[in-house]
């Protein structure tokens, strides 16, 4: 039964994602887009290129976003949300600037943006906002009237993001051999980032080292582990670990790496492990290579039974969560704030990133925050 929730003042939703190559010839230009000005060593780039070539030069991320788009449109249609959903990427076609230009030419003036990144940090939040600012600057230079873009709040602790993760962990545990199941550790994983970036990822009340990025992941891990215990009656030991480290070897990044962690678990006599990639929204290349290929091979070499639980992907509960975030923000923008869903201890995040949060090494304009140069 369509309920026609009020989504005014918005006239469109923009799904903003990372983008990925769709064939071998795309790999190098894609990596050049990602790493422009980021100081990534050549050796690391060669290695990462190989991850993509192993899968025919195709990242699954674009197809996953097409499926998510379908899920969002279906959810909106079923609930009477009459808002078009468009898609643009930071690093590959369809490029953000091209999508935004088309949206403006189609007459959209007030656009809600959902980024496929659930947490705070420069890479996970401000960099998307910088790309929005760049796109707006390009459109302004072309003489177009700029729309207002609002980024929907971080959703790492939204039940529509967390509950599918819990179900995935339960399914992975059930898939382990019975004799090792109850002793299995849960290894929650996310993208490693430089310690300096983690420490400036926003204030996290009561949390020392790591700032908001680490605190948010720990909050989700706690909720998932507790829900698993509630369901199975078994307390699985858990840890938050990291993957996909990049950058220069001399720069400190968040540790331990998942592969080192598997060795420690094995050394300590853990009978099995479920790897839970809470840091990602879909099973893209960081999951397919770093976990399903590299870490899975490491576990096999150790003789450690391992499973990898799914990311949220296009789960209908996630699509419903996006609608909830959109309706919630629309209400706030109309001056009629309503309940904001969140699990865990941190509570719902801010709508507007505060001035100077998640700073870049070299300051650049960022849209959709308190320090946005755009209205
Ligand atoms: C926090 C975070 C997320 C999660 C939030 C979000 O989802 O946005 C994320 C996602 C992703 N990262 C991705 C790919 C890459 N990330 C790289 C490099 C980097 N990522 C970083 C951080 C993050 N990355 C950082 C600090 C760097 C170092 C360079 C820099 O400081 O900017 C590089 C360069 C090579 C390398 O060094 O690994 C590649 C190819 C893909 C696409 C996968 C696909 O193709 O399926 C996705 C979804
Ligand atoms: Fe990345």
- pLDDT by residue (tens digit) across 94-130? 999 999 999 999 999 999 999 999 999 999 999 999 9
The values of phi and psi at residue 111, to 5°, are -120, 125
Closest ligand 1 atom number to CA of residue 194: 26
Question: Within a 10 A sphere around the Cβ of 167, how many other Cβ atoms?
Answer: 17
259 Cβ inside 6 Å of ligand 1: no
The answer to whether 314 and 71 have CB atoms below 8 angstroms apart is yes
The answer to whether 353 and 125 have CB atoms below 8 angstroms apart is yes
Which residues of the chain fall below pLDDT 70? 1-2, 205-210
User: 244 C-alpha to center of ligand 1: Å?
Assistant: 8
Q: How far out from the chain centre does Cα 227 lie?
A: 21
pLDDT of the residue at 80: 97
CB under 8 A, 24+ apart: contacts of 226-235: 227/166, 228/166, 228/169, 228/170, 228/173, 228/186, 231/166, 231/170, 232/170, 232/173, 234/182
The answer to whether 151 and 129 have CB atoms below 8 angstroms apart is yes
18 Cβ inside 6 Å of ligand 1: yes
The answer to whether 188 and 228 have CB atoms below 8 angstroms apart is no
Which residue has the least CA distance to atom 19 on ligand 1? 246
Closest ligand 1 atom number to CA of residue 197: 26
Which residue has the least CA distance to atom 29 on ligand 1? 38
CB under 8 A, 24+ apart: contacts of 303-306: 303/266, 304/262, 304/265, 304/266, 304/270, 304/272, 304/273, 305/176, 305/177, 305/180, 305/184, 305/271, 305/272, 305/273, 306/262, 306/272, 306/273, 306/274, 306/275
Closest ligand 1 atom number to CA of residue 116: 7
Q: Which CATH class is domain 12-20+59-153+314-333?
A: alpha beta
Tell me the binding residues for Fe(2+). 191, 286
Tell me the C-alpha distance between 159 and 250, whole Å: 38
Tell me the binding residues. 59, 128, 191, 286
User: 191 C-alpha to center of ligand 2: Å?
Assistant: 7
Q: Which of 34, 38, 127, 194 is the best mutation target for the ligand 1 pocket, counting ligand atoms within 8 Å of the beta carbon and taking the most?
A: 34
40 Cβ inside 6 Å of ligand 1: yes
Tell me the C-alpha distance between 243 and 254, whole Å: 9
Ligand nearest, relative to CA of residue 289: 1
Return the domain boundaries, the chain.
12-20+59-153+314-333, 159-308
Ligand nearest, relative to CA of residue 38: 1
67, 78, 274, 281 from 265: Cα distances, Å: 36, 46, 12, 26
Ligand nearest, relative to CA of residue 280: 1
Ligand nearest, relative to CA of residue 117: 1
User: 267 C-alpha to center of ligand 1: Å?
Assistant: 30
User: 263 C-alpha to center of ligand 2: Å?
Assistant: 24
Please enumerate in sequence order all residues whose Cβ is within 8 A of that of 174, keeping only pairs 6 or more positions apart, or say none: 181
User: 27 C-alpha to center of ligand 1: Å?
Assistant: 14
pLDDT of the residue at 1: 47
- Secondary structure (3-state) at 240: strand
The answer to whether 262 and 298 have CB atoms below 8 angstroms apart is yes
Q: Does the fold of domain 159-308 match that of domain 12-20+59-153+314-333? A: yes
Task: Please tell me the CATH code under which domain 159-308 is placed.
Answer: 3.40.50.1400
227 Cβ inside 6 Å of ligand 1: no
Query: How do strand 110-115 and strand 148-151 relate by DSSP bridges?
Result: parallel
């Amino acid at each position: 039964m369509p309920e026609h929730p009020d989504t005014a003042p918005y006239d469109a939703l923009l799904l903003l994602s990372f983008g990925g190559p769709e064939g071998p010839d795309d790999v190098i230009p894609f990596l050049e887009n990602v790493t422009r000005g980021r100081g990534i060593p050549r050796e690391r780039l060669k290695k990462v290129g190989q991850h993509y070539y192993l899968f025919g030069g195709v990242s699954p991320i674009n197809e996953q976003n097409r499926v998510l788009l379908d899920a969002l449109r279906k959810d909106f249609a079923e609930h009477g949300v009459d808002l078009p959903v468009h898609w643009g990427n930071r690093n590959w076609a369809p490029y953000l600037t091209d999508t935004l230009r088309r949206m403006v030419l189609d007459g959209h003036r007030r656009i809600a943006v959902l980024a496929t990144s659930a947490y705070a940090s420069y890479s996970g939040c401000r960099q998307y906002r910088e790309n929005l600012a760049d796109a707006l600057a390009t459109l302004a230079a072309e003489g177009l009237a700029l729309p207002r873009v609002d980024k929907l709040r971080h959703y790492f602790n939204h039940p529509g993001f967390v509950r599918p993760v819990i179900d995935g962990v339960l399914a992975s545990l059930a898939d382990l051999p019975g004799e090792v199941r109850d002793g299995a550790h849960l290894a929650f994983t996310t993208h490693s980032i430089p310690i300096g970036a983690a420490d400036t990822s926003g204030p996290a009340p009561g949390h020392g080292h790591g700032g908001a990025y680490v605190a948010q992941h720990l909050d989700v891990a706690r909720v998932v582990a507790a829900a698993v215990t509630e369901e199975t009656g078994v307390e699985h030991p858990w840890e938050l670990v990291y993957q996909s480290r990049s950058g220069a070897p001399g720069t400190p990044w968040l540790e331990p790496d998942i592969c080192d962690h598997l060795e420690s678990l094995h050394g300590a006599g853990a009978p099995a492990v479920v790897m839970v990639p809470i840091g990602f929204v879909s099973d893209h290349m960081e999951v397919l290579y770093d976990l399903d290929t590299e870490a899975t091979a490491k576990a096999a070499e150790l003789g450690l039974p391992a499973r990898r639980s799914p990311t949220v992907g296009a789960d209908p509960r996630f699509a419903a969560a996006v609608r909830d975030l959109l309706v919630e923000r629309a209400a706030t923008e109309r001056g009629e704030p309503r309940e904001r869903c969140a699990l865990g201890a941190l509570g719902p995040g801010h709508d507007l990133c505060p001035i100077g949060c998640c700073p870049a090494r070299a300051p650049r304009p960022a849209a959709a925050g308190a320090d946005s140069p755009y209205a």
